[in-house]
Structure 1
Amino acid sequence: MNSQTMLLADLLAVFKKSKLLIFLTVLIGGGTAYYLSQYVVEPTYEASTQVLIVPKQEVGSNIVDSTQISSSLSLINTYRVIMRSPAILNEVKTQVPNAPTDISEILLVESEEESQVINIVVSHSDPVVATDIANVITEVFANEIPDLMNIDNVRVLSVAEVPAFPVSPNMLIYTAIGVVLGFVVGSVLALVRYTFDKRVRDEKEAEQLLSLPVIGNIPVIEKRDMAAKRSKQEPVKEVNPSVKGDEKHVSSAKDTRQSS
């Protein structure tokens, strides 16, 4: 337990010493993700509609029994396949000129378990195109089913409306992912720098590495400090005019003795 506590304390100490590096990587990661989500990644819009599979009723009867409901439920998977078939999608491409070549790639057809409702979801970069495709698929499917299955049991529950906001990219999620990745990268860089940096910066690190007490240290003296100290210790040379005058007086006295 103590070793785990010491390891955690060492990691926190490393992160604390490299907090500026980690902060910069977090800032860069979050900023990059925000920029990508806002200006680079193409937004995607979703338009959805619903159809209901109505149980077939007996002629002259308004009662729907469990057998009829089970029969309708058994047709759900068949209807989902028909919606994605060329018989439906080719007609959709004819009615929606801006539709992509392969509509099945942007089409999602799903239904809840034991439900008679089929959800049709279309994803596209243009919200108007996505809405048109979803509504036309529903319309064409409802019109074609009586001829294909010899049964008229499809009703449109809701039509698609033009979405106001994209479903992706999510700016908050992108930015959060960028911040997390930035923190991870910064932490890894801090650990790598700590691992390969063998310098001892203070007495505390020396005690931790050597397990010995520090009894003294040698201060670091910079060259500029030594130069300033020498300049203070050097004496100032001054010219003494009286000495020069005495030398002249002595020389003139010697000349007087020689002449006498």
Structure 2
Amino acid sequence: MKSQTMLLSEIFGVLKKNILILLLMMLMGGGAAYYLSQYVIAPTYEASTQVLIVPKEEAGTNVIDSAQVSSSLSLVNTYRVIMRSPAILNEVQDRVGEAPADISEILLVESEEDSQVINIVVQYVDPVVATEIANVITRVFASEIPDLMNIDNVRILSEAVVPGEPIAPNVVMNTAVGLLVGFVVGGVLALIRHTFDKRIHNEREAEQILSMPVIGSIPVIEKRDMNPKVVKPKADAGNKPKGDDPHVPPVKETRQTS
């Protein structure tokens, strides 16, 4: 019975003996990942825009104190929730005819810590529609905030432009992952094959299993070696009739008449 604990060198030996299985699984995994990424999975494009939450100035002055800045920062999280609310997205849905049924699934609203800037990111399969949705969300939000919050402190920093390259799928990364998965699957198959193989392949395995030295071995005898070819002896040329020789014409019998 084979030892249940395999040394690292033995594992490498098993993988080396099953190198064809490993290569085949890696080729299948990498090829499948490349094909799916290149021809099956629809590319996703990303369009983004930014808005700034402006602190309110004191009446009659151009001074902005720290309390007003803190108030603007505290409004960022509130504004992020408002951007994803039906009050904004329903209006966007009406203005963008090709928008998906649920815009919130393709919308990301982000902001850095202690920042008054809000990033609106839209990820969609159509780059033009993604750009239009991002810009319309920004405009609708900026126009609705004065009515919703009784304060006009939203400014558009940048508008989205149509992206030229998709952000997903990443063909190179997916192919690399497919190769890795194929290698793992091939390695598992090789180890399973080795575990359930009860044959003794060489003298070293026999010594390990039996704990005895090998005194001698019987070589493998091929079938062709067991049936040697019989060579027939050639016929003696002196005993061969002349008539049988194709190079000697046959002798014709003649009769003498009187």
Q: Considering the TM-score relative to the shorter chain, is it more than 0.5?
A: yes
Gaps of 5+ in 1: 245-260
Query: What is the deviation of 1:200?
Result: 1.5
Moved more, 205-214 or 111-120: 205-214
Q: Report the structure, 1 or 2, having the larger helix content.
A: 1
Aligned residue type for 2:150: N
SS in structure 1 opposite 2:230? helix
The equivalences for 1:13-24 within 5 A come to 13-24=13-24
| Residue of structure 1 equivalent to 2:185 | 185
- Name the CA distance, whole Å, in 2 between partners of 1:94 and 1:21: 56
Q: CA deviation at 1:210?
A: 2.3
| TM-score relative to the length of structure 2 | 0.86
| Alignment-mate amino acid for residue 134 of structure 2 | A
What letter is aligned with 1:231? V
CA distance in 2, matches of 1:243, 1:120: 108
- Counterpart code for 2:202: D
| Runs of at least 5 residues in structure 2 that lack an aligned partner in the other structure | 242-258
- C-alpha displacement at 1:230, in angstroms? 4.6
2:233 match: 236
User: Which amino acid in 2 is paired with 1:236?
Assistant: P
Once residues 195 and 216 of structure 1 are traced to their aligned partners in structure 2, the CA distance between those partners, rounded to angstroms, is 27
Q: Deviation string for 1:120-160 (max 9, x for gaps)? A: 01110001100000000001111111111111100011111
Alpha-carbon distance between aligned partners in 1 of 2:105 and 2:6, rounded to the nearest angstrom: 54
Q: CA deviation at 1:238?
A: 4.3
**How far is the alpha carbon of 1:211 from its aligned partner?**
2.8
2-structure distance, mates of 1:111, 1:135? 17
Structure 2 SS opposite 1:49: strand
Report what 2:52 is aligned to.
52
Poorly superposed stretches of 4+, deviation over 4 Å? 237-244
Partner of 1:69: 69
C-alpha root-mean-square deviation of aligned residues, in Å? 2.1
Deviations 1:183-209 (A, max 9, x none): 000000000100111112222322232
User: 1:25 is matched with which residue?
Assistant: 25
Mapping 1:101-250, distance limit 5 Å: 101-227=101-227, 229-232=228-231, 236=233, 238=235
In structure 2, relative to structure 1, the CA distance for the partners of 1:14 and 1:243 (3 Å cut) is: closer
How far apart are 1:239 and its partner, in Å? 7.3
What secondary structure, in the 3-state scheme, does the structure 2 residue paired with 1:73 have? helix
Hey, what's the Cα distance between the residues in 1 that align with 2:80 and 2:73?
A: 12
Determine what percentage of the aligned residue pairs are the same residue.
68
Offset of residue 77 of structure 1: 1.5
Counterpart code for 1:100: P
Q: Distance in 1 between matches of 2:14 and 2:208?
A: 14
Give the SS at the match of 2:157.
strand
Structure 2 CA distance, aligned partners of 1:238 and 1:54? 118
Match of 1:47, SS? strand
Using the alignment, how far apart are the partners of 2:240 and 2:111 within structure 1? Answer: 117
Task: Report SS of the residue matched to 2:7.
Answer: helix
Q: How far does the alpha carbon of each residue in 1:31-73 deviate from its partner, in whole angstroms, 9 at most, with x for none?
A: 1101110001111111111100000011221111110011111
**TM-score of the superposed pair, with normalisation by structure 1:** 0.86
Question: Partners in 2 of 1:152 and 1:111 — Cα distance?
Answer: 19
Distance in 1 of aligned mates of 2:167 and 2:94: 27
**Local SS of the residue matching 2:27:** helix
- In 2 relative to 1, CA 243–140 (structure 1 residues): closer, same or farther, beyond 3 Å? closer
- Partners of 1:184 and 1:238 in 2: CA distance: 68
Q: Using the alignment, how far apart are the partners of 2:181 and 2:6 within structure 1?
A: 26
How many corresponding residue pairs?
238
